Each structure stands twice: as structure tokens, then as C-alpha cells.
A and B are shown apart, each in its own frame.
Chain A
Amino acid sequence: DAGITQSPRHKVTETGTPVTLRCHQTENHRYMYWYRQDPGHGLRLIHYSYGVKDTDKGEVSDGYSVSRSKTEDFLLTLESATSSQTSVYFCAISEDEISTEAFFGQGTRLTVV
């Protein structure tokens, strides 16, 4: 997988607690994305980043925040986890406006109990 590491790979957390997922890339790609995947919904875009400190909302951004203080790291924070945020979260990167192909991490399985 193209130099993308997601951590943790699995997490169980309690309702109401904050959770941070990390995506780290070694490709120096400009664009980074967070998606969630749920049965019957495919992948839905949560937030994405087009540069350091430049982020934008996706389709399902409520309850999530992101930060990108360095090119290589993109953090996704669930401010107060709810059971509806139980999902598999994928980070993706893409290089620039020309190539636009996205490379995906292995995913983080999050369970909120």
C-alpha cells in the first residue's frame, strides 16, 4: 500500500468519549481524505485536506473534525463518539490535480459501545 499507515487498526471505545484516528503518509502527496464505509452505503467522504492547514467538509462531516499540521499527517477526531459512528474508516491520498488517482490505507475498524 502506497506508504499510508493508519493507526490504530482496531479500536473499541465508549459512547461520549473523544477518539482520534491518525493517517500518516510517506509519499508527500498534497491531498488527504477520510472516508467511512458502512454496509449499503459504500464509502462516504467525511473531510479532506488540500494542503497543510487547508481542509474541507465532505458528505458526512457532522460529529467529526480534522487537522493537518504537517504534510504527512491527517488526524480525524470524533469529538464525542456515538454508536452511529461505529464503522470502518479509510484514509486516502492523492498526489495532485493532474493524476487524481487515490491510494487507500488498510482501514481502521472503530466500534463505539
Chain B
Amino acid sequence: SQQGEEDPQALSIQEGENATMNCSYKTSINNLQWYRQNSGRGLVHLILIRSNEREKHSGRLRVTLDTSKKSSSLLITASRAADTASYFCATAAIYNFNKFYFGSGTKLNVKP
């Protein structure tokens, strides 16, 4: 399985601090995506980074990808209480990039 694994499993920070989550995967990928899930809801797409990209930004989100280490990180800057959620990385195989595999997620708690 090329399932991604997030680290840490849980993260608790104060509002205004930065939050960093990591994802490692096993096989070659076409792209890697990050999703957010609020409690009891479906997942919402945050950002996609392709295998030929090293860094991508979207608002307060910064994603990096290191294909040599098979790892990615998601940085949320100046976190807010509303960022409290679970965050998942999803990988798409290089040979079948419409088949997504998710990790077990990082549960982020941002304290006001």
C-alpha cells in the first residue's frame, strides 16, 4: 500500500502559533493532496502539489514535497480556533492518479 502516514497523530497549539504536520508515503506518486475534516463532516480539499513541484502556497497554507524522502509537510501559519480539525494527506499513484490513498490523519486542536 502506498498509504500516507501523518505525523504527529495529534497536535495542540495556541491561537496565533504555527502548526506543522508531516506526511510520509511509500511509492512513487503523481501528486499529493491535503484535506481537512471538521468533526462529523466530509473532507474538504485544501491544496494539491504535483510530483514536479517542491513548494506551494495557498493563503495561510504552505505545502512542501520532497520526493527523494517520500514526504510532505503542511504548515498552517497564524492558526485560528476555526482551524481545529483533522488533516489528511492523500497520495495518487504515478500510474493511476485518480485513485487516492489517505493516511490516518493529524488531529489539530487550536486553543483560543
B51 sits at the interface (CB 8 A)? no
Interface size (B, Cβ < 8 Å)?
26
Partner of A101, one of B33, B40, B103: B33
CB-defined interface of B40-71 with A at 8 Å, one 1/0 digit per residue?
A: 11111100100000000000000000000000
With both chains docked as a complex, state the minimum distance between the C-beta of A86 and any C-beta of chain B, in angstroms.
17
Compute how far the CA of A103 lies from the CA of B44 in the bound complex, rounded to whole angstroms: 7
Q: Establish whether residues A107 and B42, one from each chain, have CB atoms under 8 Å apart when the complex forms.
A: yes
With both chains docked as a complex, state the minimum distance between the C-beta of A94 and any C-beta of chain B, in angstroms.
6
Which chain B residues border A56 with CB–CB below 8 Å? 99
Compute how far the CA of A40 lies from the CA of B31 in the bound complex, rounded to whole angstroms: 24
Compute how far the CA of A50 lies from the CA of B99 in the bound complex, rounded to whole angstroms: 9
B28 sits at the interface (CB 8 A)? no
